[in-house]
Amino acid sequence: MKFMLFVMLMFTTNGYHCDCTTTHINNLYDFNPSTCSVNTSSICFSTLFRFNFNDYIFFKLIILDNTMFYSTTDQIFWINTKSLTITENTSLFLMADLNVNNNIIIETKASMNMIRNSTNFGSVSIAGNLILSKPELNNPQIVLWNTSHLHLSYNHATKPNFEIANPTGNTNCFDVISLNAMSNLDTLSIGDHIMPDMFNYSFNFTDGKGYLISNKKLIRFCPNTIPFNNEVICTLKNVDYNPVAPDTMEGSFDYPHCPCNKDDNVLCKLRFVNGIIQFNMLKFLLNNTELVVNKDMKLLNLKFAKQVTIYDNVVLTVNSLFLNLVFSFTFGKITTNQNKDEYKDTVFNYSPLLNTLYCLGDLNYNFSIYQNITNINININSTGNIKNLYLYENTNVLILKNTILNSINQVEFSEDGKSFVFMENASNNKVINNCHLMEVLKTGLKCVMCNTASWLDNDICNSLVYNCERYNKNNVCVLCKTGFVLNEKFECVYSTNCLYGTTSICSKCRNQYIRDDNECIYNDKCRYTDGSNCIECITGNLHNKCESCTPNCYLCSNKKCLKCNDDFFLDNESVCVKENNGFSTGISTIWCNDEFYIDNGVCNKCSSKFANSIKCDNTNAISCEVNYSISNERKCTLSVCQNETFKEQNGMCTSYENNCIFVVNSQCSECENNYTIGYKKTCVNITTNTLNNCVIYSKYGCISCKIGYYLSNAECHQCSEKCTSCIESDTKCLLCVFGYYQGDNYTCLPSTELIEKCDKISIITGGCYQCKEGYYRVGMDCIKCLSNCSICNTIDTCLSCNLTNYKTQSGNCLPQNSIIGCAVEITQNGCSKCLDGYYTVNNNECEKCNNNCTTCTQHDKCNSCVKNRILFENGICLDISYVLQCIEVLNSKCSKCTFWHSPNKSGTTCNKKAVWWVILFCVIFTICVLIILMISMVCLIKTIERKVLKFQHNQNTIFKINHSNINFIAIGDDIVVNKTGIVFGGSENPIKVGIESRELICVGNLSKRHLKIQFSMTDKTEKYTIRTEPQVVSLSKRTAVEFEIFVKPNCSCKINDRLTLFSKNLQDSSTKNNQISLTIITEMSTRLDPDELYEDKKLGEGSFGIVYKGSFRKI
């Protein structure tokens, strides 16, 4: 006997069993160990490996790291392997032909790439199972970049069918193989492989269905019962778009089945690679492609695409024709158009935090807002034009800037559903002209608020009336400008006869029109009217009829003249008299000619009152005749001096005065040296005469007097008896005598008058230097404060107010009852706390809040609101209807929303919120249903088991061991039989060949668990066939079954064999087996057992065969 010992080194790398590894890359036999048998071993690769031109047959290839298979020769050869495994995060690059005969395993994020580097290479053949650990949609793990031939085995004579295995638990479609051309699939009609036509609808695999999509270059697999997913996503990797599929990994797209634009049967999407921010679409028509933009970037020369989807917070700049180009956002869709056939730039950005869409582009837009959007702001910085706005109910839209709105379309509105649209620029509202805020209802639109140039009337905005002077709070004209009247449409129309009023009632007529029963009647005899009556007639008449009066009368009443014509005046009998010496206004003379003066409205001659006068007035002569001048008495006196008189300084004649230099008004005004003006204005000698009470003299008279005297006209006069010194007059005191004090205007007043108003009187001056409360000090006197002051320091400045007044911030004292809305008692300091509905102004006054407020800090800044109004952050109280989904208000906050909504912390919005008890109820209900289902399943299973057992009992002989008289023999593992061996035939009664024979054996279960019992042959043989009835049976505890054993001998033989009795515990799935002997003895026949033939010698050989001499059973 020869023994051979094979020693094989075993490797384990990263958890994978490797019989051999590569050492370097020269050829096939560079493996470690050198005794490695590639036909039976698993070989692990982790780097480049070069093959020669031989065809290689491997048992198992394992790719541990990025690896490339290639050859330096151009001769055709195949790499054949039974199994190929590409491990996790690893890529295999093929520059050689590959044939896999049993299975391919590609793990998570692993891939196989075929790169054709020669016309002789580029073929792949796969048979058996393709197993992908974690396959993904739009991420095929087998990529044929430049391949000429793909053979997928099907109905092959020697190879298993190609199968795509669905990973355990996977319920999604996934991509398998990406082709660079549909012709990659073998098109030869040999019938041993999958051809393209087999994918016309779908190709049936065991675990699911295969589809050939994306211009028939992508094989996609969907598990059984999972619907087909036709979404194909490609990624553009270069700056320029290329409609041609790439044939290298450096091409324009991430896979060779891209682009998918030409396949109408798929939902084609195009993404853009990171690292590039500008892509040129080169004006290609992408009518079947959706562009997906998830980063800030720019698209150039975009002629058309099926749709452009823009992620939130992404800024996209698009250069396009914008001809029905659709942009999709999370809030809805926009369809764009423009009036010119030119490429232009537009920027899009949507911020979900601000609920604001920013557009920079002069385009025509159609907006479709999704149903779940509650607030959206549209900010188009240029002159955008919204052609159509499609809205669901419960949506608030704010349109900013100069955007034009042309149409609003309601979508699925309920009877009480509503939405609101606010236009920042109401003049661009073409839906309802000049409307700022529109309410959208199922039945139509109505305006809620107009701009300042319009007024709201029957839910529309009417332009403010031309020539209107005053409007009411609803912008309705109530008063027209002068000359215009208000008609029944509240419009101002021109009136030829009315200044103020309406078309039915005139309040004031035009001039020369008088009111008669609210109408204006023209009177050609009236010159001036007061708007109702005539106040001046043209012909001297008065009142509405301008009745006739006396001659030269301009205005009269009851036939008595009130005013004459010009140049006439009224005498004492109301008769008009001609004024010849002056000018009259019709009532009296207002001025006279020279040489006349007015006296009681009549011009009289001056000389009749003032002799020798030329001009005069009623009291004085103004100018005199020649040689006459006006005297001090304002009369005309002779101006030539006579009888030893001379003309003094003012031109008057006076007599000479001794020692006098200048005489004025007959009195000396300046004396010669050593003389001074004395008593009676005469000059006296200074050395010989002393002026009374004068201290210092001059030639003009005294210039300083003694104390107690004051100087007036160069003379000293005694002060008042109350003064100790004075100036200018005897009562203008500088100092007062004891018992008096200096009061107002330097007068001396008795000190006793200070007792009532002064707290402290000065002993020295007799005046007050501290006044009592209610008085203020002026000099030495105390002046009473105003009646509303209790303490003041000037007449205009109160320091504190009296008990019935309070002091304002400006220092004024106002009545306390003028403060309305004070919550506490009003004091001299005003109000310290205001009532609800009022707020504090100027620190101590109250003013009423806005009617919507219950409390406030300013007129329009509320702290709390009236019933059913909600307080917002800016202090405004708005109606409950403004907050969508809100149904109850408490403490000025939305306290309750509709079902599945909850108010936010500030109580100003209703947000969607899951109701915990509903979820809990659903969970409990689901658990209850599951429990009921489980109980039902258990009961059903028990019922089925009972029925199965009953069926088995009916079909098989199953009985209780305790109820039988059979003697059982234990053979181990709680299994008992009635005999340990089965014997067919004997020396005296052999069984027939070719005919089934039957024997019985009983098997019992002594354990406490259910067991599954069946017989099996230890080894297969061709000498006989054997079967049992039943084949498999389930036995409960302490029951037994009767098996029928049928044997059919195929030849004359004597057999001693063994049957295996298998028992499986149905609770823990453990199995046991026991042996039962089998003995078969057959009768003699022409069919002999070849194992019982013995050769003695060879007798001959010919065309008929070889003849041997031998014996049977050595008989």
In a domain, 80, yes or no: yes
| Residue/partner pairs of 337-343 with CB below 8 Å, 24 or more apart | 337/363, 337/364, 337/366, 337/387, 338/362, 338/363, 338/364, 339/364, 343/301, 343/319
The pair of three-digit structure tokens given for residue 843, joined into one six-digit string: 């620190």
Shared domain for 195 and 69, answered yes or no, is yes
For the cut 90, the answer to whether the pLDDT of residue 328 exceeds it is yes
For the cut 70, the answer to whether the pLDDT of residue 29 exceeds it is no
Angle (CA) 301 303 305, round 5°? 120
Q: What is the pLDDT of residues 43-85, one digit of tens each?
A: 998 888 877 656 678 899 999 999 888 876 666 778 899 999 9
Residue 712 exposure: Cα atoms within 13 Å on the Cβ side = 11
The reported pLDDT for the residue numbered 9 is: 34
634 Cβ contact list (under 8 Å, min separation 6): 619, 620, 621
The answer to whether the CB of 773 falls within 8 A of the CB of 791 is: yes
Shared domain for 491 and 448, answered yes or no, is no
The reported pLDDT for the residue numbered 53 is: 59
Q: What is the pLDDT of residues 545-560, one digit of tens each?
A: 566 577 777 777 667 7
pLDDT bin (cut points 50, 70, 90) of residue 653 is confident
For the cut 80, the answer to whether the pLDDT of residue 472 exceeds it is no
Give Cα separations from 818 to 806, 808, 821, 849 (angstroms): 10, 12, 10, 17
Q: Which of 683, 718, 753 is the last residue of a domain?
A: 718
Shared domain for 38 and 173, answered yes or no, is yes
For the cut 60, the answer to whether the pLDDT of residue 700 exceeds it is yes
Number of CB atoms found within 10 A of residue 1063's CB:
21
Of residues 16 and 322, which shows the higher confidence score? 322
For the cut 50, the answer to whether the pLDDT of residue 4 exceeds it is no
Shared domain for 450 and 483, answered yes or no, is no
The answer to whether the CB of 85 falls within 8 A of the CB of 105 is: yes
The answer to whether the CB of 625 falls within 8 A of the CB of 636 is: yes
The pair of three-digit structure tokens given for residue 311, joined into one six-digit string: 């992620």
- CA nearest neighbour of 679 among 663, 701, 696: 701
Shared domain for 474 and 459, answered yes or no, is no
Give Cα separations from 187 to 152, 200, 201 (angstroms): 11, 14, 17
Shared domain for 88 and 50, answered yes or no, is yes
Q: Quote the mean pLDDT of the chain.
A: 85
Shared domain for 451 and 474, answered yes or no, is no
d(CA 1006, CA 1038): 5
Of residues 715 and 206, which shows the higher confidence score? 206
d(CA 751, CA 753): 5
Q: Which of 415, 438, 463 is the last residue of a domain?
A: 463
In a domain, 109, yes or no: yes
Shared domain for 502 and 648, answered yes or no, is no
Number of CB atoms found within 10 A of residue 944's CB:
11
In a domain, 21, yes or no: yes
The answer to whether the CB of 99 falls within 8 A of the CB of 83 is: no
The DSSP result for 801-843, as a single string, is: E-TTEEE-TTS-EEEGGG--SBSS--BTTB-SSBPTTEEEETT
Q: Which of 195, 229, 263 is the last residue of a domain?
A: 229
Shared domain for 40 and 114, answered yes or no, is yes
d(CA 247, CA 469): 80
The DSSP result for 738-754, as a single string, is: TTEEE-GGG-EEEGGGG
The answer to whether the CB of 128 falls within 8 A of the CB of 102 is: yes
DSSP state of 611: T
Helix ranges restricted to H, 2-105: none
pLDDT bin (cut points 50, 70, 90) of residue 310 is very high
Q: What is the pLDDT of residues 94-135, one digit of tens each?
A: 888 899 999 999 999 999 998 875 555 678 999 999 999 999
DSSP-based three-state secondary structure for 500: strand
| CATH number of 1046's domain | 2.60.40.10
Q: Which residues of 1001-1013 are buried (b: 16+ CB within 10 A; e: fewer)?
A: bbbbbbeeebbbb
CA dihedral 512, 514, 519, 521 (to 10 degrees): -50
Q: Reading across the β-sheet that carries 297-302, which strands appear in turn?
A: 278-280, 297-302, 316-320, 344-351, 356-360, 375-380, 396-399, 418-423, 435-441, 444-450
d(CA 563, CA 552): 9
The reported pLDDT for the residue numbered 542 is: 53
pLDDT bin (cut points 50, 70, 90) of residue 504 is confident
pLDDT bin (cut points 50, 70, 90) of residue 315 is very high
Number of CB atoms found within 10 A of residue 717's CB:
15
In a domain, 293, yes or no: no
The reported pLDDT for the residue numbered 614 is: 86
Q: Which residues of 49-77 are buried (b: 16+ CB within 10 A; e: fewer)?
A: bbbeeeebebbbbbbbeebbbbbeeeeeb
In a domain, 374, yes or no: yes
pLDDT bin (cut points 50, 70, 90) of residue 985 is confident
Rounded to two decimals, the pTM is 0.48
In a domain, 1006, yes or no: yes
d(CA 957, CA 1045): 14
d(CA 429, CA 446): 13
- CA nearest neighbour of 233 among 173, 191, 193: 173
- What is the end-to-end Cα distance of the chain in Å, rounded? 31
pLDDT bin (cut points 50, 70, 90) of residue 326 is very high
Tell me what percent of the residues of the chain surpass a pLDDT of 70. Answer: 93
The reported pLDDT for the residue numbered 643 is: 65
The average pLDDT across 884-910 equals 89
408 Cβ contact list (under 8 Å, min separation 6): 388, 389, 391, 421, 431, 438, 440, 445
- CA nearest neighbour of 187 among 151, 218, 222, 162: 151
767 Cβ contact list (under 8 Å, min separation 6): 741, 742, 751, 754, 761, 779, 780, 781
The answer to whether the CB of 768 falls within 8 A of the CB of 782 is: yes
The reported pLDDT for the residue numbered 6 is: 31
d(CA 71, CA 94): 10
Shared domain for 457 and 478, answered yes or no, is no
Tell me what percent of the residues of the chain surpass a pLDDT of 90. Answer: 31
Number of domains present in the structure of the chain: 6
d(CA 161, CA 102): 9
The reported pLDDT for the residue numbered 547 is: 62
Shared domain for 131 and 197, answered yes or no, is yes
In a domain, 1112, yes or no: no
The reported pLDDT for the residue numbered 541 is: 56
For the cut 90, the answer to whether the pLDDT of residue 325 exceeds it is yes
Weakest-pLDDT range from 24-38, 148-162, 405-419, 599-613: 24-38
Length of the chain equals 1115
- CA nearest neighbour of 482 among 512, 509, 463: 509
In a domain, 277, yes or no: no
Domain range enclosing 578: 549-608
Shared domain for 570 and 508, answered yes or no, is no
The average pLDDT across 272-276 equals 94
